[in-house]
Amino acid sequence: MSMGSDEKISLKLVEVLKEIGLSEQTVLKMRNTYILSETLDNIPSKILNTGEKTYMFGSNTEGTTTCGLESDVDTLLCIKFYNVMQHTSEFKLNMLQNLMMINSEASPGYCFLQIAGYDDSVILSNPINTYKDKAGRTLLKNTMNNYAAGMVGLKGMDVHGPSLASNAYLGYRAEDTVTAFPCTSWPKVAQSWLSAPSKGQWPSGELKKVCANKKCFVVPVASRGSKYRDLEWRISFSLAERYLMFSLNITQIRCYVLMKMILKSYLNLEGDFLSSYMCKTVLFHCVENEDPNIWQEQNQIKCLNYCCKKLKEFVRDRNCPHFILRENNLMLHRFSTNDGTKILSKLENILSNTCEILLSIKIDDLGNRLKQKLNKVYRPINGQYPSAAMESECRLLIEIASTVSDAHKMLLSHATPNTMFKTLFALLGYCKHSNCFKKTAGYYLASLFCTSTAMTIASSHICLEKQVSREALFWIKAGLNSDVASSRLKLASALYSSGHAQEVNKVLDDTANLYAKGFFKVQPMCNCDSYPYLCRSIEFDVCEIQIQNVIAFCVRFLPYEINCIPKELRYEMFRTTKGDQPYRRVDGYWMDWAAVDSYPFLYFLYYKTFGCLQLREYQLQTLNYLHLQATEMYTLNLAHRETALNLVGQLMEQENRVTTAFQCYLQSLKIRDRNNAAKWHICRLLAELIAGY
């Protein structure tokens, strides 16, 4: 029997969706990436006992997005020193107690939080965050979002409803961070869903048991149109919903992505009447009610239409029931009767002309790609499409490396010579964990921290004995393969500082060879500050060690490592004057360190080493190359370009090329006009010139 038209189109559509990153393999990689990132985020919090835990939710973690959809990174910051109880028997010592109140005045899916266990001084010290009701109970306002965020170091972020939104810095996706409190147990209104038999085969009893073991949260936001807009808290089942999404097959996942594309391209052009969360809820209801055998690739169009019919039904009734708390209407106060009529008309058009609507979608060039698959007259501008799936995978690798860099920076910010080994051994403990994500995360961070610990030891020995001790060398070698370059360059720097030029040259050659093997694949990575990443084509497996082969982190030196640093780089530790301090970002503590990109630091060390070895010709060639790479803004992807320029400027001074040195310092100041050591260099150089006349 020949396939029908819808089946043929469905299979072509599936081919396109695979091309743009919606294959089973890529979805699994995306999920693994963000679970690993979540694990990496939480290791510093656990070791430093900061009182919060990070969860990553939404499209990226579910594997339900593409590059063209440009989904935000959704992060839930769970503040663990709050305890939300269903009843007083769940009271926990040494925590801030809140009793969940669900009554007829609270909107379905929402609650009030009654403060319990505080003394009056705590309540009086934060009157703006509390409210006394008619019964004399003290309720916690949801407007305490900024207050809670400040307690865990998220000051300076914009408040958007329940979210603290970071700016979309160049090279970084926008991030929505929701502060939330953990519930000790599921509220009674939700437990009926856990015990109720499923209508079909999904969700199974086993899946509901998994969901029951996942925490739920309260999020500081009221329902739309609520008369208690400052007091209601939304009950969130994001963890359970994440596992529901993980249980879906690839056809169901593709339905959800197509719905989001239609939403963005067609349904929501006149306003944000519908949300992607509604689309997810629609999908849940469809999977629960429809025959499980229909969710197959050849039925992709049919399955999409099932979802659109269900959405139409919800819009017609102006009621989209939350999947777990059915009394919670997600469409309440979302759109007017007139807007609802327009949405229904559009949904009718989608159901009547599904293929035409899909062909009109510009996101990820889906429509044009599908036209080509259906053998219609169409040719891509460049003859071939870029590999969207490969770009998606490259972004995943960057996500992992970026989180590693952030976690390493967080651990270093709290490090002291006395706590280095304690932190290192805690990280090594993760390396032995049975959970593959914790094991991989522990390996990444322990490798980097081995080098930082080794440099602290080496610095003290170089100061006293002018040698890198055996103990330091042991830990350096343990972390040598943390990435392509940074740990090797720290070893080279320590050896240079102790006067071992021949050994330095060997380490630099080894590092240069690693760059040469995959220069067009090596990704520079730095999270000290924001800068644009250039995605290069890289294939990888999330749960295998890949960073050591394709990522070059920036090189970070703490003040305790100062004797391992060439004198030219030490100035970077003193970049901040009293007047510059207010212009630092909240996470700008790295400005008290010496930080430099790996690639220019490699050639800086080559220049210094060639000088020691009296290889003058090589030394001049290296300086010219380094100068070119630092000054040409589009040659290298540098996060610390101003530092590279400051280093080049000092080398130019040593070559008596004073004018070129001045130009380097001035260009450095154009990049970063505050918190820049170039100011010291300019003042010093001018003083020397004046003294010479």
pLDDT in tens, 212-250: 999 999 999 999 999 999 999 999 999 999 999 999 999
What value does the mean pLDDT take over residues 343-367?
96
Q: What confidence tens digit (pLDDT) does each residue in 401-457 have?
A: 999 999 999 999 999 999 999 999 999 999 999 999 999 999 999 999 999 999 999
For residues 262-273, give the mean pLDDT: 93
- pLDDT value for 448: 96
Interacting residues of 93 by C-beta distance below 8 A, sequence separation 6+: none
Does pLDDT of 338 surpass 50? yes
pLDDT at 157: 47
pLDDT in tens, 639-693: 999 999 999 999 999 999 999 999 999 999 999 999 999 999 999 999 988 887 6
Provide CATH code, domain 51-245: 3.30.460
Instruction: Categorize the per-residue pLDDT at 73 as very low, low, confident or very high, splitting at 50, 70 and 90.
Output: confident
The mean per-residue pLDDT over the stretch 535-541 comes to: 55
123 has pLDDT over 50? no
Report the CATH number of the 1-23+248-388 domain.
1.10.1410.40
Please report which confidence band the pLDDT of residue 388 belongs to, taking 50, 70 and 90 as the band edges. low
**Residue the block writes with tokens 């043929």:** 8
pLDDT of residue 545: 53
pLDDT tier, 168 (very low <50, low <70, confident <90, very high otherwise): very low
Average pLDDT over the chain, rounded to whole? Answer: 89
Cα–Cα distance list, 329 to 193, 281, 317, 332, 340 (Å) = 16, 11, 10, 6, 15
C-alpha distance across the termini of the chain, in Å: 96
Higher pLDDT, 143 or 351: 351
Answer for the pair 523, 400: CB distance below 8 angstroms, yes or no: no
Helices 276-289 and 300-317 meet at what angle, rounded to 10?
Answer: 110
pTM (two decimals): 0.90
Give the pLDDT of residue 634: 61
| Identical fold between 1-23+248-388 and 51-245 | no
Contact (Cβ atoms closer than 8 angstroms) between residue 482 and residue 408: no
Instruction: Return d(Cα 503, Cα 307) in angstroms, integer.
Output: 65
- State how far the alpha carbon of 169 is from the alpha carbons of 54, 296, 489, in Å: 21, 40, 28
What's the rounded mean pLDDT across residues 537-546? 56
- 311 pLDDT above the threshold of 80: yes
- Which one, of 585, 402, 445, lies nearest residue 47 by Cα? 445
Go through 186-198 and write b for each residue having 16 or more CB atoms within 10 A of its CB, e for each that does not. Answer: bbebbeebeeeee
Segments making up each domain of the chain, as ranges? 1-23+248-388, 51-245, 458-692
Look at the chain and count its residues. 693
CB atoms within 10 A of CB 683: 11
More confident residue, 432 or 520: 432
Position 533 scores a pLDDT of: 53
- Counting beta carbons within 10 angstroms of the beta carbon of residue 374, is it exposed (0 to 12), middle (13 to 18) or buried (19 or more)? middle
